[in-house]
């Protein structure tokens, strides 16, 4: 097989706060995805603290790993621990210079901000000057916030793209980084990526591994990289060919989809959320929710996509028994007889939500999210789901879900989305 390696790239995220575990890094995943879609193989993603020596060591490490491109995020802010521009300049062997046009541009942004917030004074002036310092020979990118991005060439490579840390600013500056001359020149050498995805529900990773071994025993799969991951209770399988192995990837993709059709949700990269939105819009259907243990998480997930007002009628979070009865018409005697966590109450929540909101599809969820409240008959993780439709379909499940309180609530939301997709006709209605 005629395959060659893809050029490699690395992401270096700075921020001591990311090493205290206080917040999760959002820039690394964003950049890794973007670089993969451009055709790079992402070799490393590093998070380093706001210490110049550690950042310098990280840049040298990924350069030694043979990457053609490094993208950094963070450390362009106004505080003394924001040192990325300086360290990258030193890495590239050049000095920092004040970019007067950029200083004026940032001054204008800061003036507007000071007028709005009432914060002003010498702190702002220092910040302004600091953020307008640019490595000689670098391309400064117009800021979305107050920190400009930088594209810094280094003799002998790699090219370094320096982006601000706030995710909104980073994502705002990214397109202009791609349009800069040095990045365009590099991208012209990168072969296009043709990743293919499969998504399965209720299906273990070990089965995909076994199928791959079986297929791999009869023909050469070495030109494709297959990665699997569990996300939102679905097994995502990503098939990425090296240049020259596109046919192998296509055939493997078709074979996995056919062999495991029963568990297949999607074979072209669409998520359950997108499929559900599409199915509801195409059929002109609306949804209403009656949630107990998930506490609004399902409604919130349905509203995530723009345009969801066309198909989300609304929902009730009926956490107490009184609310279940008063707002969704669940009979108090039903709760007394079967318990608040029961298939009967799940169905009454679904019917109640559907009727109160005048929707086509209703979904009810009631379960024991824990950590307390479990019994032998209804342990922590026992969750009852019911989806009912105005044309008489009833889909019910009552699994015991593993994990913590947060896990159980998330998995409950995943399961409900999957049942809704069946009810909306986006998957077989069973």
Stretch 154-193 residues interacting with its own copies (CB under 8 A): 166, 168
Shortest separation between residue 121's beta carbon and its own copies, angstroms: 8
CA-closest candidate to residue 344, choices 293, 296, 384: 384
Where is 383: in which H helix or E strand? Answer: strand 383-389
Both structure tokens of 70? 């490094």
Residue 356 to residue 327: CA distance in whole angstroms? 8
Q: Does 296 bind its own copies (CB under 8 A)?
A: yes
Among 184, 185, 213, 262, binds its own copies (CB under 8 A): 213
From the list 290, 403, 383, the residue with the least C-alpha distance to 341 is 383
| Cα distance between the two ends of the chain | 43
Please, what is the minimum distance in Å from the beta carbon of residue 136 to its own copies? 26
DSSP state of 144: S
For the CB of residue 327, give the shortest distance to its own copies in the complex, in Å.
7
Nearest distance from C-beta of residue 13 to its own copies, angstroms? 8
Smaller CB distance to its own copies: residue 155 or 217? Answer: 217
Alpha-carbon span 81 to 92, nearest angstrom: 20
**Minimum distance from CB of 306 to its own copies (Å)?**
5
21: contact with its own copies by CB under 8 A = yes
Residue 209 binds to its own copies (criterion: CB under 8 A): yes
| 36 close to 42: Cβ distance less than 8 angstroms | yes
The binder of its own copies chosen from 151, 239, 285, 297 (CB under 8 A):
297
Within 225-244, the residues that bind its own copies by CB under 8 A are 225-231, 236, 238
Which 73-132 positions form the footprint of its own copies (CB under 8 A)?
77-81, 117, 119, 121-124, 126-127
What residues have CB less than 8 Å from 42, skipping those under 6 apart? Answer: 8, 9, 10, 11, 32, 35, 36
Q: Does 218 bind its own copies (CB under 8 A)?
A: no
**How far is Cα 58 from Cα 40, in angstroms, rounded to an integer?**
19
- Per CB under 8 A, contacts with its own copies among 302-331 are 302-304, 306-309, 312-320, 322-323, 326-327
Within 196-264, residue ranges assigned H as helices are 205-218, 246-259
Footprint (CB under 8 A) of its own copies, residues 271-290 = 289
Question: Of residues 403, 422, 425, 429, which one binds its own copies by CB under 8 A?
Answer: 403
Interface positions, 329-368, toward its own copies (CB under 8 A): 356-358
Query: Cα 288 to chain center, whole Å?
Result: 25
Choose which of 68, 96, 178, 212 interacts with its own copies (CB under 8 A).
Answer: 212
* Residue 399 contacts its own copies per CB under 8 A: no
The CA distance from 384 to 416, in Å, is 10
Among 294, 342, 366, 388, binds its own copies (CB under 8 A): 294
Please give the Cα distance from 30 to 28 (Å, whole number).
Answer: 5
């Amino acid at each position: 097989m005629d395959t060659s390696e893809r050029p490699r790239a690395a992401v270096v995220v700075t921020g001591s706060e990311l090493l205290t575990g206080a917040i999760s890094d959002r820039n690394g995943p964003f950049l890794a995805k973007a670089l993969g879609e451009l055709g790079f193989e992402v070799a490393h993603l590093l998070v380093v603290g706001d210490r110049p020596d550690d950042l310098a060591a990280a840049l040298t490490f990924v350069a030694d790993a043979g990457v053609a491109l490094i993208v950094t995020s963070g450390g362009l802010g106004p505080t003394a621990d924001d040192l990325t521009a300086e360290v990258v300049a030193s890495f590239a062997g050049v000095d920092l210079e004040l970019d007067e046009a950029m200083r004026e541009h940032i001054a204008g942004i800061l003036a507007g901000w000071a007028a709005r917030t009432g914060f002003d004074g010498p702190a702002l002036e220092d910040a302004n000057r600091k953020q307008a310092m640019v490595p000689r020979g670098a391309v400064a990118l117009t800021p979305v916030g107050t920190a400009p991005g930088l594209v810094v060439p280094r003799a002998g490579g790699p090219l370094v793209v320096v982006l601000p840390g706030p995710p909104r600013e980073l994502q705002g500056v990214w397109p202009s980084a791609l349009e800069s001359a040095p990045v365009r020149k590099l991208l012209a050498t990168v072969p296009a990526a043709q990743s293919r995805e499969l998504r399965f529900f209720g299906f273990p990773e070990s089965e995909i591994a076994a199928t791959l071994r079986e297929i791999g025993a009869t023909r050469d799969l070495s030109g494709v990289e297959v990665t699997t991951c569990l996300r939102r209770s679905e097994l995502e399988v990503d098939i990425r060919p090296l240049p020259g192995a596109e046919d192998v990837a296509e055939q493997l993709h078709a074979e996995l989809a056919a062999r495991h059709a029963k568990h297949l949700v999607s074979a072209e990269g669409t998520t359950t959320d997108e499929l559900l939105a599409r199915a509801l819009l195409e059929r002109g259907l609306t949804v209403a929710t009656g949630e107990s243990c998930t506490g609004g998480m399902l409604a919130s997930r349905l509203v995530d996509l723009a345009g969801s007002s066309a198909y989300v009628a609304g929902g009730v979070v009926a956490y107490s028994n009184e609310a279940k009865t008063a707002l969704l018409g669940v009979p108090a005697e039903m709760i007394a007889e079967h318990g608040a966590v029961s298939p009967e109450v799940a169905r009454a929540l679904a019917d109640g939500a559907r009727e109160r909101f005048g929707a086509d599809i209703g979904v009810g969820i009631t379960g024991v999210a824990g950590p307390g409240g479990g019994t032998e008959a209804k342990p922590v993780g026992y969750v009852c789901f019911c989806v009912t439709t105005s044309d008489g379909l009833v889909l019910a499940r009552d699994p015991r879900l593993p994990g913590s309180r947060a896990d159980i609530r998330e998995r409950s939301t995943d399961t409900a989305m999957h049942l809704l997709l069946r009810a909306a006709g986006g998957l077989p209605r069973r």
